[in-house]
Amino acid sequence: MAKDHGTQIKNDELYEKLRDEGTSKEKAARIANAQANGSLDSGGGKLDDRSKAELYDEAKEIGIEGRSKMDKAELVKAIRKH
pLDDT for 9-44, tens place per residue?
Answer: 878 888 888 888 898 888 888 888 887 776 665 544
Query: In whole angstroms, what is the distance from residue 32 CA to residue 37 CA?
Result: 9
Q: Is 49 helix (H, G, I), strand (E, B) or coil?
A: helix
Closest CA to 79 of 65, 23, 69, 37: 65
H-type alpha helices, the chain: 12-20, 25-37, 46-49, 52-62, 72-81
Average pLDDT, the chain: 82
pTM for this predicted structure: 0.51
Report the pLDDT averaged over residues 55-66: 88
Plot region of 63 (φ>0 → left; ψ -120 to 50 → alpha; else → beta): left
Q: How far is residue 47 CA from its own chain's centroid? A: 11
Give 32's Cβ-side CA count (13 Å radius): 24
